[in-house]
Structure 1
Amino acid sequence: MKKIIALLFFISFVSCKSDDNVETVTATFAIPEVMSKTDWRSQIEVQVPKPIENVGKIYVYNDFIFIGEEDKGVHVFDNSNPTSPQIIAFLNIPGNEDIAIKNNFLFADSAIDLIVFGISNINGITQVALLEDVFDYYEQFDTPDPFAFTDYSDFNPEEEVIVGWTYEERELEQSFYDDIYTLGSGESANSVGVGGSLARFQIVEDYLYTVGEAELSTFNISNLSAPSFVTSYYAGWRIETMFHAEGYLYLGGDNGMFIHSVENPASPTFISEFTHWEGCDPVVVDGDYAFLTLRGGNECGQELSVLEVIDVSNKYNPTLVAQHSLDNPYGLGFKDNYLFVCDGNSGLKVYDKTNPLDLQMINAFEEINAKDVIPLEDKLLMIAEDALYQYEYNDEGAIQLLSTLILN
């Protein structure tokens, strides 16, 4: 629809009539910059530690912390001494969004591919497998200009990947014989939908589940060093996050939460959807209740930012039961009766969720740009735009700062 509006704008203001039925219009075209798949895959390697330019997602495995840098790779830290984490290596993985780990095997996406690393020797990480062309990367790879037409005429998806875009103005002939416009130049008028989703990985027993903008994929990882692709299907609209709890996958999308059953782990099935206005939303689930944050503004759609509590005791009919105002929420997590919410520039907020219908905020750590949080059994990890914070729990359930690691 945006493309149609853009073209009609051009027709109205920059067109000149060439005859009674055809007009010439000027439009912006995006042309992919490409790299061969061979060259793309040759970039995957284990490198020496390097500074983090843009802090991304956080993942914890045993005494190690993995911090992603979107589209670039993963930074590996030794956290055996939580008061002083030490960086070990950088996994250079172009097009990387997420990782998951099981029994010393690390799974990572690289745009179109699934990569497996062996990490039993953390100082000697090795690549052990690569599954080619298992992800529909271009579902979420959009041009920076949402009003540009996309010309794929010189792009060969069998042998190339897109690494950037160039733009040029072109004159097109617009015919008004039909109700729906046609482009007389013969160039492709197809466009990639605006995306903002971040893929999420979840491991459930012998299966790895990955979610893209609209696609849920399943991999059999019973042989960790040689996983196999099982299936994929449409899972919802503009999916951003995925959470597993008690045999169900909860997918957070721009306009709702989607519930899928993994009762048959090789073949997930859609159960239901809880819809809301557009907003960026991660979700976590504890028992009969899902806790979901909606961040308004920017690419997320609406201005309102809230924490929602959803009753999911009936998986076929999730119901909103409570709502709390927030400022700029991102990730969240829970331990026992405590819910930790990263509220962006407003810091980390701690709620008592003993009664999910009546959450009580009991603490706030301000002056931190909180992005995501992982509550562990003995400590809490929180990632900010420029630092990793580690907290320890006390006997009353409150938390106190254990260490701060400046990342950039």
Structure 2
Amino acid sequence: MKLKYLFLLLVLIGIWSCDEKGVDYELVKVATPELMAKSDFRNSVAIVDPENIEELGKIYAYKNYIFVSDSKKGVHIIDNSNPESPQAIKHIKIPGNEDISVKNDFLYADSATDLLVFDISDMNSISLVERLKDVFNIYDYNIPIEAEAVDYGKIDLEDNIIVGWTITTEKRKKVDNRFIGIAFEDGAVVQSMAESVTGQGGSLARFQIVGNYLYTVGNYQMSIFNIQSLSSPVLENTQNAGWNIETMFQADDYLYLGSTNGMYIYSISNPSSPEYVSEFTHWEGCDPVVVDGDYAYLTLRGGNDCGQLESVLEVIDISKKETPTLAGRYELENPYGLGIKGSTLFVCDGTSGLKLFDKADPLKVKQINAYQDAQSKDVIPLENNLLMIGGNTLYQYDYIADGVELISSYSLR
């Protein structure tokens, strides 16, 4: 009897593996989009009382406020008038949100394919004052990493927005060199007189405000908005930006885009039309970048979805923007964001904590301190103190000789 059942099993396997003559089949993890009507999606923006953060996103500082994003859900506003005792005051619910920037009390935020503008001059009466619809033609739809294929037949983006994905395992014909992407008909692939006050984001940011322009970057497209009229931005230009862009940093008259396989440099001497200058190519890895003077500092996180090689800090000589060159490489454990103040480079090394490097001589960067008692994701080195997020906690530090000293830790859950 056992032999009979074994024979039957082998027959079924044979039928499954080759249903048609000469055609091989395999089990494939297929991602199917979860859709929401655009009308419902756009009506779900709300300003509510403080709530716990479900998935820690990015950090942004403006005046005495800290904005912490809840990935794809919006931003939480923290009053930091007293750094020893920060207080959450508001939560702006923004579906599909990843990034923000603030200038003169106007907050710009992405909401999937839309750009939203909020008036935050009165934190007790925040209001949505403008929405530019469908300005992000290439948008990061966050197809799950484990997905091996996408169910294109169920993607209707004319009246809907992708708000999530469902993964199922299906038997499909075997295809070599499978590419996951979302194709559209147009060929794109889914993804005043007073002193101006602009906020500051961390190294994981994709938004940058420079003068009267807001620069935003998606997976491989840059959108340039004229914000001379702060409450009424105008989409002035869109252009290709590179490939697998993850972050954007601005220094002097240049934008530095961090991608999974390189750093792209763009000149903004003509602010409405950034001009490609050069790129520095490295192996595949998650790649935020910051710049100080003639050197760029970037971290590469290997493993998982970021790459297969080791994790490192790279120092790039950008004194000649047309020909950036590698000036140094230092091993790390699990790096994320980084920031600079003076001669100190702050590197978030994930579960290995915060590491401090002396970069007085960029060609001989050396570690001077490490704080392993806190998980770290990104930092913002402000004038008087250091902000850091990681492990669902907001940390604030005073600067001391060759190190930092904890001011407070604030749980975001």
Report TM bin, short chain: 0.7 to 0.9
Query: What aligned pairs does 1:1-400 form with structure 2 within 5 A after superposition?
Result: 14-18=16-20, 29-136=30-137, 138-143=139-144, 145-152=146-153, 154-166=154-166, 191-192=180-181, 200-394=206-400, 396=401, 398-400=403-405
Q: SS where residue 272 of structure 1 aligns?
A: strand
Aligned mates of 1:169, 1:387 — CA distance in 2: 36
Matched AA of 2:157: P
Aligned mates of 1:215, 1:28 — CA distance in 2: 28
Deviation at 1:28, TM superposition (A): 5.8
TM-superposition CA deviations, 1:7-59 (whole Å, max 9, x none): xxxx999443546x778887665433211100000111111110112222110
Deviation at 1:367, TM superposition (A): 1.9
Matched AA of 1:234: N
Q: SS where residue 377 of structure 2 aligns?
A: strand
Q: 1:71 to 1:210 in 2, by over 3 A?
A: same
Aligned to 1:5: none
Aligned mates of 1:246, 1:13 — CA distance in 2: 64
Deviation at 1:199, TM superposition (A): 6.3
Q: 1:37 to 1:401 in 2, by over 3 A?
A: same
**Structure 1 length-normalised TM:** 0.87
Contact 2:376-2:389 within 8 A present in 1 as well: yes
Aligned mates of 1:48, 1:143 — CA distance in 2: 31
Matched AA of 2:161: V
- RMSD across aligned positions (CA): 2.6
Q: 1:236 to 1:68 in 2, by over 3 A?
A: same
Matched AA of 2:250: H
Aligned mates of 1:318, 1:205 — CA distance in 2: 26
Contact 2:315-2:326 within 8 A present in 1 as well: yes
Aligned to 1:3: none
Aligned mates of 2:190, 2:135 — CA distance in 1: 19
Q: SS where residue 402 of structure 1 aligns?
A: strand
Contact 2:258-2:288 within 8 A present in 1 as well: yes
Matched AA of 2:116: I
Matched AA of 1:290: A
Contact 2:31-2:143 within 8 A present in 1 as well: no
Aligned mates of 1:317, 1:13 — CA distance in 2: 57
Aligned mates of 1:403, 1:129 — CA distance in 2: 36
Aligned mates of 1:141, 1:29 — CA distance in 2: 14
Matched AA of 2:18: C
Q: Which runs of 5+ in 1 are unaligned?
A: 1-10, 175-179, 182-188
Q: 1:171 to 1:254 in 2, by over 3 A?
A: closer
Percent of aligned positions that are identical: 52
Matched AA of 2:137: D
Aligned mates of 2:334, 2:79 — CA distance in 1: 31
Aligned mates of 1:55, 1:95 — CA distance in 2: 14
Aligned mates of 1:380, 1:170 — CA distance in 2: 49
Aligned mates of 1:251, 1:12 — CA distance in 2: 50
Aligned mates of 1:343, 1:24 — CA distance in 2: 42
Contact 1:199-1:210 within 8 A present in 2 as well: no
Q: 1:159 to 1:323 in 2, by over 3 A?
A: same
Aligned to 2:409: 404
Contact 2:55-2:71 within 8 A present in 1 as well: yes
Matched AA of 2:337: G
Deviation at 1:169, TM superposition (A): 6.7
Contact 1:199-1:212 within 8 A present in 2 as well: no
Q: Which runs of 5+ in 2 are unaligned?
A: 1-12, 183-188, 192-203
Aligned mates of 2:355, 2:41 — CA distance in 1: 41
Contact 1:219-1:229 within 8 A present in 2 as well: yes
Q: 1:199 to 1:216 in 2, by over 3 A?
A: farther
Aligned mates of 2:117, 2:408 — CA distance in 1: 31
Aligned mates of 2:82, 2:277 — CA distance in 1: 43
Q: SS where residue 155 of structure 2 aligns?
A: coil
Q: 1:345 to 1:170 in 2, by over 3 A?
A: closer
